[in-house]
């Protein structure tokens, strides 16, 4: 019965690609977006950004100065 | 390509969560965090003025900074909201991978994990500092901070989700590792502000960040709930 394993295989591949589309890719994209924001607000060195976010950085206990 | 609806739901939930948690944090900071910080700044400025007077250098070179008062508070609120949205996106990403929460109370647990990972663990080695405190080189502290956060996040998830005892044990080892190695310390410790002020700042931030993270977790749990 060669057709059964093939069918299972197809189902598995489809399930895997659905996990990728529904979970992994949206999560990765959200993660990258979140990290960029955290970098800008918490770590960017430009003096103006530092001074604007100064109190927020101290409060969050990010290494500052 | 990928599930845009999932992504959009996550981002919208994170935006609302970050906005509300950031505003809440800004309000909580006014109780003790900001007053302590402003007090410490007076000591810092006095110490700096003394140095300048002694060395007779007066080439004033000031970068822009927000004026004390409303302007400063608004910029702090913007920073807090940005941090809130950033953290909410990370929590949302993990929720998306592990399964969306069924109740806002589940979100609180994620918030607690975020608090331990991003605040408690790095603060054990590098306590929250008022301005004017001597510290090790910035790049060294940032590296230690980043390694500790990554390591704690990974360690906590092993401890919570690993199936074997060996892996859970490995998680516990990861949690302890950065503290056994130790955070970078200044060559000569010291601070312009008195020790009580430094202590008061630590107490204030421990409380403020707990409120911030529980709000992020709880709100994300509510806004990013599984549809029933």
Cβ within 8 Å, pair A47-B64: yes
Q: How many domains does chain A have?
A: 1
Domain around A21: 3-60
* CB B77, CB B23: distance < 8 Å: yes
Query: According to the model, what pLDDT value does residue B190 have?
Result: 85
Task: Read off the pLDDT of residues B107-135 as tens digits, 9 standing for 90 and up.
Answer: 999 999 999 999 999 999 999 999 889 99
The whole model's pTM is what? Answer: 0.92
- Per the DSSP assignment, residues forming a β-bridge with B191 are B133
3-state secondary structure A8-65: HHHHHHHHHHHHHHHHHHHHHHHHHHHHHHHHHHHCCCCHHHHHHHHHHHHHHCCCCC
In a domain, A65, yes or no: no
Query: According to the model, what pLDDT value does residue B201 have?
Result: 96
ipTM: 0.91
Residues 6 or more apart whose Cβ sits within 8 Å of residue B206: B119, B123, B128
Residue in A27, A56, A61 closest to B79 by CB = A56
Cβ within 8 Å, pair B93-A30: yes
Cβ within 8 Å, pair B79-A51: no
Cα separation of B225 and B123, whole Å?
A: 31
Place of tokens 């607000």: A41
Structural domain boundaries of chain B?
8-53+68-135+186-223
* Partner B contacted by A16 (CB < 8 A): no
Q: Chain B: nearest CA to A28, how far in angstroms?
A: 7
- The residue with greater pLDDT, B58 or B162, is B162
pLDDT tens, residue order, chain A (65 aa)? 455 566 667 888 888 888 888 899 999 999 999 999 999 999 998 999 999 999 999 999 999 87
Cα separation of B171 and B160, whole Å?
A: 9
Rounded percentage of chain B residues whose pLDDT exceeds 70: 96
């Amino acid at each position: 019965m060669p057709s059964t394993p093939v069918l299972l295989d197809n189902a598995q591949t489809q399930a895997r690609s659905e996990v990728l589309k529904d979970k992994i890719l949206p999560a990765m994209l959200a993660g990258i977006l979140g990290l960029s924001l955290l970098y800008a607000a918490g770590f960017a060195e430009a003096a103006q950004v530092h001074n604007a976010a100064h109190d927020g950085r101290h409060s969050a206990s990010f290494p500052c100065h | 390509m990928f599930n845009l609806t999932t992504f959009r739901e996550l981002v919208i939930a994170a935006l609302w969560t970050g906005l509300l948690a950031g505003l809440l944090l800004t309000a909580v900071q006014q109780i003790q965090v900001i007053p302590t910080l402003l007090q410490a700044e007076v000591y810092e400025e006095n110490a700096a003025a003394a140095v300048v007077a002694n060395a007779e250098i007066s080439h004033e070179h000031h970068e822009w900074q927000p004026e004390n008062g409303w302007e400063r508070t608004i910029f702090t609120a913007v920073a807090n909201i940005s941090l809130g949205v950033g953290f909410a996106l990370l929590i949302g990403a993990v929720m998306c991978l592990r399964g969306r929460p069924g109740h806002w109370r589940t979100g609180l647990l994620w918030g607690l994990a975020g608090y331990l990972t991003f605040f408690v663990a790095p603060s054990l080695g590098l306590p929250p500092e008022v301005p004017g405190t001597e510290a090790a080189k910035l790049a060294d502290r940032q590296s230690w901070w980043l390694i500790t956060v990554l390591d704690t996040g990974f360690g906590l998830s092993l401890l919570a989700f690993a199936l074997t005892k060996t892996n859970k044990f490995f998680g516990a080892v990861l949690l302890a590792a950065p503290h056994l190695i130790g955070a970078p310390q200044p060559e000569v410790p010291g601070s312009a502000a008195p020790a009580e002020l430094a202590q008061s700042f630590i107490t204030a931030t421990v409380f403020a960040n707990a409120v911030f993270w529980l709000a992020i977790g709880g709100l994300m749990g509510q806004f990013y709930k599984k549809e029933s």
